[in-house]
Every structure is written in structure tokens, then in C-alpha cells.
């Protein structure tokens, strides 16, 4: 896991234009992305991933995006998918994808509280 300072700055800037209260936090060699206190994305190896569930996973699979695999190609996947690179250039296009990921994070958080 590694994240260049320039990619981190770019992602935080673009997301900050798309959704409110964005912050980034270093973690395990990568970067966690939050909207307020909701953890909805991460950066690893200069790739942005958003949180998914059954409500938005098909958006990613339709674009042939890959799930986050922290333990290599043959390792298990996590509930995050790579964000299509073309979305990163336009905050307006990025916004609905980020909003869906934030909604997933909110639902997961509520489920954990129960």
C-alpha cells in the first residue's frame, strides 16, 4: 500500500468539490476517505475505491471495475470497488457515485449499532 502525496491531494480536492465535509486520514499505508464521520472510501496504490453493497455494486461491475483486494490478486475482497478513472476529472460526475458510497457507509453504520 502506498499513496503519493499528489494523488491524495487531487482526490481530496475533487471529492471536496463533489460532497461535503471530506477529510482524509492515513491508515495502514493507505488513506481512508470520510464525509463527516462516515468512512466511505479509501486510496491504495494511487487508486480510489468506494464502499459498495447490493444497492450500488452493479454500477462498478457494469464498468468492469475491480474490488479492493488488500492481500493480492488471489486474496479476499472487501466491500470497496475501484472508482472509474474518468469520474475523477469531473466533480459533477463523481458526485452521485460518492453520494451512493456515503449512503452505503451510513446504512452499514446503522446496522452495526443495532
- CATH (residue range 5-113): 3.30.1460.30
Give the global pTM.
0.92
CA terminus-to-terminus distance, the chain: 33
Average pLDDT, stretch 2-27? 95
Backbone Cα Rg of the chain: 13
pLDDT tens track for 82-103: 999 999 999 999 999 999 999 9
Cα angle 105, 61, 20 (rounded to 5 degrees) comes to 35
- Band the pLDDT of 76: cuts 50, 70, 90: confident
Amino acid at each position: 500500500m502506498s499513496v503519493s502525496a499528489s494523488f491524495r491531494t487531487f482526490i481530496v480536492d475533487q471529492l471536496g468539490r463533489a460532497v461535503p465535509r471530506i477529510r482524509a486520514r492515513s491508515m495502514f499505508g493507505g488513506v481512508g476517505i470520510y464525509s463527516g464521520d462516515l468512512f466511505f472510501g479509501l486510496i491504495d496504490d494511487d487508486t480510489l475505491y468506494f464502499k459498495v453493497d447490493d444497492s450500488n455494486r452493479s454500477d462498478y461491475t457494469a464498468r468492469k471495475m475491480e474490488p479492493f483486494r488488500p492481500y493480492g490478486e488471489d486474496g479476499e475482497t472487501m466491500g470497496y470497488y475501484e472508482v472509474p478513472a474518468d469520474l475523477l476529472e469531473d466533480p459533477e460526475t463523481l458526485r452521485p457515485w460518492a453520494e451512493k458510497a456515503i449512503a452505503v457507509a451510513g446504512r452499514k453504520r446503522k446496522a452495526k449499532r443495532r
